[in-house]
Amino acid sequence: MRAAASAAAEAGRGLSAVPRAGRVFVSVVIVASAALSVWLRSADLDRRPMHTDEAIHADKCLTLLQSGEYVYDPHDYHGPTLYYLTLPVLRTAGVREPADAEAWMFRIVPVGVAAAGVLLLLMMRDALGRAGAVIAALFAATLPALGFYASYYIQETLLVTFTLAAVCAGWRFARSGGTGWMIACGAAAGLMHGTKETSLIVFGAAAAALLLTQGAGLTAQLRSSGGFRALLVGTATAAAVSAALHTNFGRNPRGVIDAGVAVGGYAQRAIRGSVDSRDAEAGPHRHPWGFYLERHFLPRSGDRLAGAQLLVAIFAAVGAWFAFVRSRVGAHSLRPAAWSSAGSAAADDPHLPRAADGADPRFARFFAAFVLLLGIAYTILPYKTPWSFLGVVHLLTLLAGIGAGVMWESVRVSRLGAAALALILMLSVGRLGLISRGAAVDPLRGVAERFVYGQSLDGARRLGAFVERLATVDPRGRALPVYVIGDDPWPLPWYLRAMRATGYWSDETRMDAALPRPAVLIVARIAAHDEYRPGGDSGLEATTPRAASAAVAGPSIARWIGDDPAGPFYHGQRADAVYEVFVERALYEAFAAAGTSVGMTSTP
């Protein structure tokens, strides 16, 4: 107890060494950065078309809302933390059925989680240093990649924020030895595993970095009074949190087994580079080692991002240089005792900054190794998606903060040098913020092309609105029968969520011949001919003359929609795919008589 109290007191002295005005300034900037991140990322959350992945996750969340049931799928879709965090938003907004939900209700969740990730830097002021914490917060709030995924309803933002939470809690445990911090670290680790299976890669990189940079000190700390017990408590907490999430809080005990089964499946996918093991060489997710570098950092002609994130990588390189070269720190403990001013080698080393002002060299060494090992792991795995690297990009902002802080400490004695560095940082943060804001209000251009596969066009939303308008002129209303044929109709089910008689089939052969005739038939297909390829944001670029509709429909389509349907009308699904739409003739004529028409460049 005395040792723990002494450690805590020494940690407190390290923080209190920072002048009060400096601590307040750092805290204010971090809080303001979190608010800035919300402002940049919450603009027009309904505007960007729902991506396939977003629409699927929203559908699963709505199922959980309505039924209270969640069954973990070990083959796809990842863990449920995203859905559980969304439920309070949906309930507060009064959502009772899918038709009540809006896209912003889902996307606001990662926006809030990302802002919480910025606020976590309040716990890292003594690790990053004052300047480092300020700059890291500004980079984390404005980086376009982080901003794009923060308004994108997938698990990645949650994973990177929980990762940072685990690092923060682990750091505080290392400084104070308090078991409570290890419990918090374990809870964050459990949330990571309950969010996405790739957390295992993060765990491996973190463990390897600790052993490589803090091996001797880590062993000593575990042998100390209560160290090993705290580790066991933290591990048990992580396991309990993960099990609760995967089993829907005990309702589906098999979720624990499935979570174990998922490890093998995702490991095979990562190594083979394909979702389908039979398609390992031609898998769409199999990419060369430089894929992440090209997507996140290198300039492209005419791209608004244009290498803006590269400066963060440069500052991060300076942080790594400080960690591995300038600090000249060996495998010392992270415990505050290493910072004792009473004759320690660390205190006598002129190359080491004071704990209160600059980055802690021992943390910098661990953190740089962690980022490097995690980046290498993702780079060498054949299976790559742009969002998988987000964890590395997020951690780079902290390492960049360390690097920029080191540079600031080096040049601040010179007014000219300090002014030049401050100008560079202000212009960089300003440009990153403008790009992030632009990506939020004009989402289909530039940034989205880097960060997702198959960005949805606006055709699905417009098609959904068209079907709902058709329902207003039919006595069946939202019970209007709508049939959709195609292997991949998403995100259309999201936009048809209000229609109560919608059916989906992968192909026509799976449809029951006894089904009633639909009022609307939609075929999701690859755009094989240039004249049908969608272009622009709406994806409505071509329509077939009405007189030719029966011939185009063909006998198989006519079997369902009749010999003389209206259409086909084409709506863009993605850059290489369209929705081909046929409407029952009588319904379309009633729709047209009501004063709404379909044109070449306007949406039905």
Does the pLDDT at position 482 exceed 90?
Answer: yes
pLDDT at res. 28: 95
Which of 117, 114, 150, 45 shows the shortest CA–CA distance to 451? 150
Query: Residue 589 in contact with residue 519, Cβ under 8 Å?
Result: no
Query: Residue 201 in contact with residue 374, Cβ under 8 Å?
Result: yes
**Winning range, highest mean pLDDT, from 136-150, 400-414, 560-574:** 136-150
Task: Please give the C-alpha separations between residue 544 and each of 47, 581, 582, in angstroms, as whole numbers.
Answer: 29, 11, 11
Tell me which residue has tokens 């009022």.
Answer: 519
Percentage of the residues of the chain whose pLDDT score is greater than 90: 44
Mean pLDDT of 426-433: 89
Does the pLDDT at position 593 exceed 90?
Answer: no
pLDDT at res. 11: 43
Higher pLDDT, 46 or 535: 46
Higher pLDDT, 307 or 355: 307
Round the average pLDDT of the chain to a whole number and report it: 81
Tell me which residue has tokens 């996750």.
Answer: 57
Query: Residue 474 in contact with residue 466, Cβ under 8 Å?
Result: no
Query: Residue 171 in contact with residue 334, Cβ under 8 Å?
Result: yes
Amino acid at 397: T
Mean pLDDT of 61-66: 94
Mean pLDDT of 554-567: 74
pLDDT at res. 204: 95
Structure-token pair, residue 329: 């720190």
pLDDT at res. 493: 95
CA–CA dist 118, 141 (Å, integer): 7
DSSP percent split of the chain into helix, strand, coil, nearest 5: 65, 5, 30
Phi and psi, residue 137, nearest 5° = -65, -40
Mean pLDDT of 364-377: 95
Sheet with 566-574: list strands edge to edge: 502-505, 482-485, 520-526, 577-583, 566-574
Mean pLDDT of 444-466: 80
| pLDDT band, very low/low/confident/very high, at 555 (cuts 50, 70, 90) | low
Element (DSSP H or E) covering residue 484: strand 482-485
CA–CA dist 93, 116 (Å, integer): 21
| pLDDT band, very low/low/confident/very high, at 262 (cuts 50, 70, 90) | confident
| pLDDT band, very low/low/confident/very high, at 301 (cuts 50, 70, 90) | low
Burial status of residue 328 (CB atoms within 10 A of its CB: 0-12, 13-18, 19 or more) = exposed
* Residue 260 neighbours by CB under 8 Å, 6+ apart: none
Does the pLDDT at position 542 exceed 80?
Answer: no
Q: Is 365 helix (H, G, I), strand (E, B) or coil?
A: helix
What is the β-pairing status of strands 482-485 and 520-526? parallel
| pLDDT band, very low/low/confident/very high, at 227 (cuts 50, 70, 90) | confident
CA–CA dist 248, 580 (Å, integer): 39
CA–CA dist 113, 397 (Å, integer): 17
pLDDT at res. 275: 52
Does the pLDDT at position 299 exceed 70?
Answer: yes
Mean pLDDT of 122-140: 93
Other Cβ atoms within 10 Å of 78 Cβ, number: 23
Treating both helix axes as pointing N-terminal to C-terminal, what angle do 2-16 and 156-176 enclose, rounded to 10 degrees? 110
CA–CA dist 178, 227 (Å, integer): 9
pLDDT at res. 336: 41
Query: Residue 296 in contact with residue 389, Cβ under 8 Å?
Result: yes
CA–CA dist 527, 469 (Å, integer): 26
pLDDT at res. 118: 97
Q: Is 502 helix (H, G, I), strand (E, B) or coil?
A: strand
312-341 pLDDT tens trace:
899 999 999 998 887 554 333 444 433 333
pLDDT at res. 302: 63
Mean pLDDT of 293-311: 76
Does the pLDDT at position 447 exceed 80?
Answer: no
| pLDDT band, very low/low/confident/very high, at 304 (cuts 50, 70, 90) | low
Burial status of residue 63 (CB atoms within 10 A of its CB: 0-12, 13-18, 19 or more) = middle
Lowest-pLDDT range of 109-118, 178-187, 529-538, 562-571? 529-538
pLDDT at res. 436: 84
Q: What are the residue ranges spanned by the domains of the chain?
A: 2-451, 459-593
185-211 pLDDT tens trace:
999 999 999 999 999 999 999 999 999
Does the pLDDT at position 80 exceed 70?
Answer: yes
Query: Residue 560 in contact with residue 583, Cβ under 8 Å?
Result: no
pLDDT at res. 358: 79
Classify residue 543 by its DSSP letter. B
Phi and psi, residue 468, nearest 5° = -65, -35
Q: How far does Cα 590 stand from its chain's mean position?
A: 45
Treating both helix axes as pointing N-terminal to C-terminal, what angle do 310-321 and 390-411 enclose, rounded to 10 degrees? 60
pLDDT at res. 443: 56
Element (DSSP H or E) covering residue 568: strand 566-574
pLDDT at res. 415: 81
pLDDT at res. 236: 97
CA–CA dist 585, 470 (Å, integer): 12
Tell me which residue has tokens 């580790």.
Answer: 231
- Kindly report the CA angle at 440 between 439 and 443, in degrees rounded to 5? 60
Within 13 A of 78's CA, how many CA atoms are on the CB side? 26
Burial status of residue 317 (CB atoms within 10 A of its CB: 0-12, 13-18, 19 or more) = middle
Percentage of the residues of the chain whose pLDDT score is greater than 70: 78
CA–CA dist 10, 3 (Å, integer): 10
Higher pLDDT, 415 or 97: 97
